[in-house]
Structure 1
Amino acid sequence: MGDLQQRLQMALDAAHMAIWDSRLVNGQAIEGTVYWSAGGAALLGLPARALSQSFRDFLGHVHDEDRATLLAIMQAGIDQRTGYELQYRVLWPDGDTHWLDARAQVLSDRQGRPMRTLGMIRDITEQRQQMIAIAERQELAEVTLNSIGDGVMTTDPQGKTRYLNRMAEQLTGWSNALAHGRDIRETLQLVDESSGQPLEHVAVKCLQQRQAIGLSSHAQLLTRDGHSIAIADSAAPIWSRDGVILGAVVVFRDVSHERKLSQQLSWQATHDTLTGLVNRREFEHLVASALHTAKEEGHTHALLYLDLDQFKVINDTCGHGAGDVLLQLLAKLLQAQMRDSDILARLGGDELGVLLPHCPLDHARLVGEQLRQSIRDFRFAWDTRTFELGVSIGMVEITQDSKSTSELLVAADQACYLAKEQGRNRIHVYQESDVMLAQRHGEMLWISRLNEAFERDYFRLYAMPIVHLHAGQESHNEVLIRIRNSHGELILPGAFIPAAERYDMMGSIDRWVIRAVCHHIMSVRDSLPPLDALAESCRRTPALYSINLSGMSLADTSLQHYITGQFVQFEIAPEQICFEITETAVIANLPKAQVFMHQLKTLGCRFSLDDFGSGFSSFGYLKALPVDYLKIDGLFVRDIASNAINRAMVKAINEVGHVMGIKTVAEYVENSATLAVIRELGVDYAQGHAVGNVRPLTAGLD
């Protein structure tokens, strides 16, 4: 018997268990006595020796929150003769808390009266702590998953849905309970955003290939209630410690805004924002594709180049707003008369391009004539005036013999030029002999016209106000040049500046403008009564004139000496002169531009960077230049009231300019809506018909 008890005690010690023996009084545990083995006493934190104590004393070791429950469960098991199982906490003398697990049977006398409970008790503190830690980790994981902005779903190895976090429930429309056990392809239904066809599911692909699957860029989620949401999704396997796949986790998020913005940017990269037509870059790409099919498959296409004959007159007399409306109307008019496969593009300003795929030259002539006649019959009304229009059209055939895209575009441009030279409002089909004829004729024509303008003093200066939006009155004008020929016609710079640049005459024109502006300032000063002249000379902010300089002039090392000579001759304060330089001209001549600008800046001249924002390298070069004004490219300004992307661009340029201590000017402010947005964004100056029209500055030089 002793040997059996010893073996039993060894087994209990190995299992970290002890005898739990409670004697009852009148069937009540609370009135009885508890007998502990040495191991049982140790479970209470007491010395490891046999111990007996009243049940009330035993309850003194039990955690306050567990006493009532322990007594109730024990007494119920005694009363029902079923025994009991329970877990409770005890407080050791050193203050530690331990969890005990007790299981006992009820022993009764011959009359069936309960006399004692006898069973086993063991310390389960470590297991409880592990359970609590696991529960806390699970709770933390669930709280984390429910807090993040991404949807998270998990599956079993067969692709059945196991879990959705809160965001996944919101995005899919499925609750955890409804989704559980359903195929992931049902609860996370994915289709291609373009075709609407089901996609190879990211979770299924992940389970099949047993590897992570990266983000897709064209997935769309069909929700439980039938809505569609653009999402970016990815999946990764869930592995057990022994390398078995337990399922997959899918992470996805709503990218509707980002994808819409990306589509807008993509559209803007290939289209003209004013008319909605294809832009020059995309048109050239389409012409290149047409040329490829012509060479590879023998197809024949036609390319048309259209130049509106009266557009500049309308733009100059009625403002850019009128010109914009005219272009929008003409775009709709011409588009309505073309096949779905035909391409109408705006190439810039008043120049349009047409690509007629699979169209022989004879039929292209008919299409071109129809377009010409439609524009000829069109009447444009603005305010109280009505304008008739014409169009000059150059046409070139795209065949297997065509050489390159650039040569096709040049040929169409030259044919259009000849159509204008032959009387305008007509079609000219490109011939090989046109190249030399156009070049020779153009050179002779523009060289003679520009030389005549110098000799006969046909150049005229005009002023476009630059108006401060947030401060007092000040006089600031951009100086513009025109030619008034012998017939009294006013020729805008768009007609002669390209030729002047081509034939190296821009330096002479720039010097003429500089001298004429200095002469004008002196004339205004000399015409004032003595007291007014004195007041003018004492003004802290004298009238400021912005003069445009070409890239050719920036590279002219002798120009600075010419400028200072004019200042001395006409007694001009350098502070009254601001030189406007385009971003592209500065970048093309950066080292010379830096020297030129720093030297004149030392004298007191100011500098304005024109068309700022047209290149993405702008901010990098800006830090190296002593610039006083940034003129924000009109491409971003003109539709800022309705285009969120352009508004953001203007806001960014304005803020960067201000951080660098540079004032900002918005160009092409043509209406009150645009002006209101420009004011709201904090731009310093505005220029355009909404704040002031072009007016003559001087009639020429004496």
Structure 2
Amino acid sequence: MLVFAGIFAIFAMVVDLYTDYQRIKEDTVANVRQMANELRHPLDSILWMSSEHLTNVVLESILSLPAVAAVELESEDRQFVLGEMNPSTQCDHQLNIDVPVTNQITNALHHTAKMSLCITTDGAVAGLIERFTTTLAINTVKAFLLTLILLNVTTALVSRPLESITRKIRGQSPQTTPSSQAPTQANEITEIGSALEQALIDIRHEYQSAQSTLNSLGEGVVVLDQNDIILRENRAAKTILGSQHSLIGQKLFDQAMINPHSQWFTEAKLRCSQLSLPIRSPSFHLKNGKTLRITLTQKNTYSIAVLSDFTRQHRLQQEVRHLATHDTLTGTHNRWVFENKLQECLSELRDTQKLSCVIVVAIDNFTLINDQYGNNTGDELLQIVARRLTNCLSEDDALARIGGDEFGLLIKDAASAPALCEDIISQFAASSVHCGHHALSVSVRIGARQISPFSANPGQVLTEANIAASVARDRGGSQVVYFENVKDESSGYRNIIQWREKLDLAFKRKRFTYSLQPIVDAQSDQVVAYEMLSRIQLDDGSFASPNQYIPAAERFGHIQALDLLMVKLAINHLRKHDRATFRLNVNLSGDTLSSPRLIQQIEILLKTSDVSQRLCFEITETAAVKNLELASSHLQRLKAQGSYIALDDFGTGVTSLQHLKRLPIDTLKIDGIFIKRLSDNAFDRQLIASITSLAKTMDIKVVAEYVTHREQANYLRSIGVDFLQGHLYGPATEPKELDDQPQDYLDLANTSPQH
């Protein structure tokens, strides 16, 4: 029985051994198959990323399993072989697995990798027989020790390599504390698969996060392959390119641009690679009307293009460029462009030895038209004149608005200039100009200056053409004057022309100031008023007196603005000295006196101030009688606000007694030319006495100007002159110097007010 039992036990052991052998063989193949299938997806991502290191790590771990004798992985462009994979290798089972490799960006199948595994169970069976034979002879302790040894061997050969792989995939350091419970082989393989799966999930999350970030950008971003095909795009890119659908798979330049710019793109990619710096494109115009700029960054196998919508900036640049070179009202070129064209013309003439001509066309009486009919009518007239002049020119000629009512014409062929000038004059003389509801009789004056290869700079040429136009104005307008015919008359005009630019700068830079000359009571010699005289502070700190720039201000339309500025300064000065009682005399030009618009503005200033009764407006005889009815009406409006009126330079003009009666005059100012000759000219003494007597009968006060000697003052006082003004009582003084004087010098005595 014991023998039978022993035989049965041996038989049973053999049966169990065989059964275990079959089970081990099947389990080994199944486990390897399971492991291989679980590694297909991670290997997919690893092969797409072309990470040779990570691929070798995975294959080495698979090869370290006892059941795997060799492993071979054949990808699209490389082959990995670990172990001996040849016909002599004894394999109980060979496992072939297809590993599809997909494009992780487009999710399309890229290629299929082949993985072959050689599985053998010889080592496992030999170990199994040895373990079973040994267990029959050794005791339980030895069996237990053997079990521990096998466990340690398994841990060293399987668990630790698999755990190492898992840590590497998860990005953990080798010092990370391992799990207290050693996992089984199957669990470790599953752990590897889980770690790889989690890594892919993290990659997808990062990709989605990056895509969300790209979509939140205001600028478009596209990823292009080596053939300039769009691989990726963000939302802004589709908006900029004007597409509601995805542009993936299309060429950027062929789809979006009016004209393909692939040549630039090719050169830009090359420069990117050479410099390793982003390259910025010029402006590209899209089919949807937008303007685009591209910042290109080149990588090894793809390019990143950042698309910037430059439409608004491009439009603003065009508008700024247009404003810098064109007159906003008429649409013609401005003075700056005209002078540049003139410079170019001078350069061409030196090469061709031909003659050209510069023409200045100015509208006669434009200031009067502007005042009488309003600024809108004046603006419309300028536009009409610009159109007419444009129609007169050939393609080679140039037109620009160079001043308020002045246009510059550059005629390339000087021979055609005379006929052109006469044609322009006759066009305006032949018919009225319709501006709104008004039919205006408009004439123009023309100044012409021939230019040759030996002509001076553009500024001088234009100045000389302006001088010719000024001569045409003084001759009555509606005519052509050539500078070559009036060179001898040009010196005075040249000074006026030069002051034109200085006046423009003075207004822009706020260089206008004023000085005050005292007017005293003839009986008490006490200051009762000041005459306000404008000044321009020059760059060197000195001051220009009115007689230097007033002619230019009157000729070029600045005088009204200057008068209005002086009225404002006078009101501010009186408010500053509100405790004093002196008056300020402010000069008004003939242009201002004849302008309803300017008089209305002065009225508004007087109504909104509380110092109108301390203002006296001085006008000249010539300005008053130029349009007597209008002047009288405007002066009455100023007097209605409480201000006073003085007639300046009396005795040198054309005022008759009848004119004097029709003007609301409070004060006559006898011209200084009579005062200067007072001591040695009996006629002048009698004339002054007669004027004073006449003024008394009309209840008009009299002021004598240019009083420089005490003898003059005594005589004027004796004949009844009310007020005296001149260097005897002080020169024109800057306001700051007056502010430093004692208050009693500024205050008036309780004398009768000046009328």
- TM-score for the superposition, normalised by structure 1: 0.49
The structure where helix makes up a greater share of residues is: 2
| TM-score (normalizing by structure 2) | 0.46
Q: Which has the higher strand share?
A: 1
Which has the higher Rg, Structure 1 or Structure 2? 2
